[in-house]
Amino acid sequence: MKLSMPRFDQAPVLVVGDVMLDRYWHGGTSRISPEAPVPVVKVEQIEDRPGGAANVALNIAALGAPVALVGVTGEDEACQSLSDSLAAAGVQAHFQRLDHQPTIVKLRVMSRHQQLLRMDFEEPFDTDPAALLGEVESLLAGVKVLVLSDYGKGALKNHQALIQAARGRGIPVLADPKGKDFEIYRGASLITPNLGEFEAIVGRCADEAELVAKGAALMRSLELDALLVTRGEHGMTLLRPDQAALHLPARAREVFDVTGAGDTVISTLAAALAAGAELPQAVALANLAASIVVAKLGTACVSAPELRRAIQREEGSGRGTMTVEQLLTVVEDARAQGEKIVFTNGCFDILHAGHVTYLEQARAQGDRLIVAVNDDASVSRLKGPGRPINTVDRRMAVLAGLEAVDWVVCFAEDTPESLLAQVRPDVLVKGGDYGVDQVVGAELVKAWGGEVRVLGLVENSSTTAIVEKIRKA
């Protein structure tokens, strides 16, 4: 299955559910308490992160998708912390604030990246379901997917009314279910139970065949369009009526903390579907995102650059020949990592020792080297009849095989100025014996603060000379 990065910026999502604050107290431990056989933690850092439905919304925002959140909180300091964090991330939060109940807080005491203790401050919310439904209905216009993030804390008391409100407008509804009554999710587009939650409803599954059979029965019973069962180290299974089951293996190389992994799955799935991805591709992206987040500590998000890099690794497009669109994507990610981009260009018709040395020197000017290659028609115009000797795809393939070269792209114009304007490299490099101001594109690069460098050529190395030698022979 081929994966690509969706246009998340065009994928508005509405999340409704149980919001909570995940609070972390970090500190060192060096002694045991004289009062009881427990470690003493000297708290040195306090960290607040949005949790529950708020974490789902935060994950969607981290991918670059527009997102609104509806939930229930208290009127307290924890609610303010949540509001500030969500606003900073671009999430539009609409809270039903109850002054007689506290915002749900889950406090974790951490030392040396280990959780020593968790304390939950919560009461089931006395939600006004009619007011919450009214808030949701006012926000559905323009939304492409509705997510019900259910933690069983009381924010969601009218699941059916919410599902019908969205489905009546043609909006898919994804639900992350809780509890032992899945009837409340009847008519949803898709639900995403983990294996434990699924088996609590349908009974233990001895193998995948039984999981598929019981899943199909559950879909029929609840009138679901699809069912996604997340299975931890065994990956996830997507079931759809009258279609073969899709089993995706777990991608995680290292599992550090599974906190919030389910939130990452449903948020990536929702954003991808809202962006127009087909369901199998959206599930594959969610599986990939989950592999990233479980390698992080605590409630965490997966950013768009992280997911894009993971897709590139999956598709084998981290290096080598690329389209202009692919190149712009990897350059953006490299810049996000603080890497310096070097650009050079040429015909590179018959690759020789002079080219190899020059490209090694060019690569040394930064962290990533782009080689832009004239296409065949352009080479013909520049070099005359009979050139190029090698077609552009062959020239690019040879260049991509060099250790010094990260990315190879072709251009059709006689000069690379248009491509330079799109890539905006940090350093433009050319080989020759002319001045910096004579380099094509030099003024462009200088205009955005880039550098232009001229490197010497290796003597007695020339494609033209090689061609002439062959002709004489």
* Two tokens, residue 393: 């795809």
Residue with tokens 């690329």: 322
Comparing CA positions, the residue from 406, 426, 429 lying closest to residue 341 is 426
Rounded to an integer, what distance in angstroms lies between the CA atom of residue 190 and that of residue 207?
A: 22
Of these residues, 263, 376, 406, 426, which one is catalytic?
Answer: 263
Q: What does the H/E/C string look like for the chain?
A: CCCCCCCHHHCCEEEEECEEEEEEEEEEEEEECCCCCCEEEEEEEEEEEEEEHHHHHHHHHHCCCCEEEEEEEECCHHHHHHHHHHHHCCCEEEEEEECCCCCCEEEEEEECCEEEEEEEECCCCCCCHHHHHHHHHHHCCCCCEEEEECCCCCCCCCHHHHHHHHHCCCCCEEEECCCCCHHHHCCCCEECCEHHHHHHHHCCCCCHHHHHHHHHHHHHHHCCCEEEEECHHHCEEEECCCCCCEEECCCCCCCCCCCCHHHHHHHHHHHHHHCCCCHHHHHHHHHHHHHHHCCCCCCCCCCHHHHHHHHHHHHCCCCEECCHHHHHHHHHHHHHCCCCEEEEEECCCCCCHHHHHHHHHHHCCCCEEEEEEECHHHHHHHHCCCCCCCCHHHHHHHHHCCCCCCEEEEECCCCCHHHHHHHCCCEEEEECCCCHHHCCCHHHHHHCCCEEEEECCCCCCCHHHHHHHHHHC
Which structure tokens are listed for 227?
């069912």
Task: Tell me how crowded residue 375 is: count the other CB atoms within 10 A of its CB.
Answer: 18
Residues linked to residue 120 through DSSP beta bridges, in sequence order: 106
Q: Residue 5's closest CA among 238, 266, 248, 272?
A: 272
Q: State the pairing for strand pair 105-111/226-230.
A: unpaired
Pairwise CA distance, residues 203 & 218, whole Å: 11
Q: Is 263 a catalytic residue?
A: yes
Residue 218 contacts residue 182 (beta carbons within 8 Å):
yes
Catalytically active residues, by annotation: 263
